[in-house]
Structure 1
Amino acid sequence: MRDDYFQMFVDNFGEPVNRREVPASSVEKYRFKLPDALLGYWQSEGWSAYADGLFWIVDPDQYSATLKQWLSGSEIEHVDNYHVIARDAFGSLYAWGERYQRSITISSLAGGIVALKSQLQQRQTNPDRALGIFFATATKADFDFEDRMGNPLFERALAKLGPVSESEMYAFEPALSLGGRADLDGLVKVDMDVHLTLLDQFRR
């Protein structure tokens, strides 16, 4: 049975699609590292996409190398041991720290890491509640990307390019950091791992 937090999330994002069962070994691997509530979502919901692929609950193992690359040399590289728990269609990664139970965001297209630095080393006293609030208060706008005129791109990208698969993301070519423009004409579907590696190199 879904808790109230996750039910609010589903009310906003719809039922899951592209569902993949989570092995019991993965649940045990992350026990005592990620919130029990998240492991419960894995067991009941699987690793799945929502809202036509706008938002995904993911296997942290698939993103560990990419996350390590993005954190390398940053101020928060050694603050905690972070694990990616979710991603969006534009390649942003949402990670959770196992020591302090705080979240960070890798905003890949914007080329930065978003974190509340003042709280990163303050241990979260109720990780399950914090995780639940992350889902319950999420809106589709939180995971969309705006064009240079301030208009959301996801629905238009979906209509033009079709949904992204588990290994894909929407990206701009050329990349924004190389002078690309944030508009629909420059948006393409790309392999996520490859493109996130390139974006990390471009920002250094």
Structure 2
Amino acid sequence: MKDYQVRLASIIKDFGAPQGGDTAIDVERYRGRVPDAVIEFWQQNGIGTVLDGYFQFCDPGRYSGILKLVFGGDPDIHAEQTHALGFGAFGTIVAWNEVHQDVTIDLVKGQVSCPALVNGKRYDPNLAVTTQLMLLDDPTFDEYDAHAKKLFKPARSKLGKLGVGQIYGFRPILALGGNRALASLTIYEALPHMAILAQAHELQLMDNAPFPPQPMRVIER
């Protein structure tokens, strides 16, 4: 068994198999464009929610329009080479870029992380992507209220569990003056709400190595 296959098994052991996905991904469309580890994951497990909706694996084709909104004119991160693998409960997208590897898009904060673009370091693709997927329970996929309290579990208790293709979001969105409060959260269909978030403000390419992370430049659209 290859190293990345051990990691794939650990992802399922730690987070459970995706639930509720009713779409079979055309894996041949993405072969050679995403790491083999992703192809194997899709073939063995499909897509859907894990961790009670804290994260969900998605069909990249369904979310390609969001990536076009984010990276439509960027000179480095090209939308057609960037494939959404899944997203957190508040809409943070985990993606794979054919050139620059790991990409994370925090649509609420307006921040993009692409370590290889910032530091020039690239790794074995299968190990890079599985490292990314082994962190699906990371606190960065949560949102916080004005008192720095996590919102996912309270939102799930108040609003109910997310279905496939849904996310929690603020109403109104923070970029338009919304409040970081449980009372401001609602359940949205992911695609239209992501489109609103993607166009609500400039997105910054971040360098996450220093603390606090530093903006490098604006993502061009």
Q: Cα distance, 1:80 vs. partner? A: 7.4
Distance 1:38 1:48 in 2: 14
**Structure 1 runs (4+) greater than 4 angstroms displaced:** none
Q: Cα distance, 1:103 vs. partner? A: 1.2
1:59-111: CA deviations, max 9, x gaps? 100000111101134464449711111111111111111234x1111111112
Amino acid at match of 1:32: G
Name the CA shift for 1:78/1:140 in 2 (closer, same or farther; >3 Å): closer
Structure 2 unaligned regions, length at least 5: 203-221
Distance 1:118 1:35 in 2: 21
Look up the match of 2:143. Answer: 145
Percent of residue pairs identical: 29
1:129-172: CA deviations, max 9, x gaps? 11121223443424211222111111111111112222221100
Alignment of 1:117-196 (within 5 A): 117-119=117-119, 124-196=122-194
Residue 98, structure 1, aligned to residue 98, structure 2: yes
Residue 5 of structure 1 is aligned with which of 3, 7, 14?
7
Q: Cα distance, 1:31 vs. partner? A: 0.5
Contact conserved, 2:91 with 2:108, CA < 8 A, in 1? yes
- Structure 1 counterpart SS, 2:11: helix
Contact conserved, 2:55 with 2:89, CA < 8 A, in 1? yes
- Please tell me the root mean square deviation across aligned C-alpha atoms, in Å: 2.3
Amino acid at match of 1:180: G
Worse-matched range after superposition: 14-23 or 43-52: 14-23
Amino acid at match of 2:27: V
Look up the match of 2:43. Answer: 43
TM-score scaled to structure 2, two decimals? 0.81
Look up the match of 2:211. Answer: none
Contact conserved, 1:89 with 1:170, CA < 8 A, in 2? yes
Name the CA shift for 1:142/1:14 in 2 (closer, same or farther; >3 Å): farther
TM-score scaled to structure 1, two decimals? 0.87
Amino acid at match of 1:194: P
- Structure 2 counterpart SS, 1:28: helix
Distance 1:79 1:169 in 2: 22
Contact conserved, 1:55 with 1:86, CA < 8 A, in 2? yes
Distance 1:54 1:108 in 2: 16
Structure 1 unaligned regions, length at least 5: none
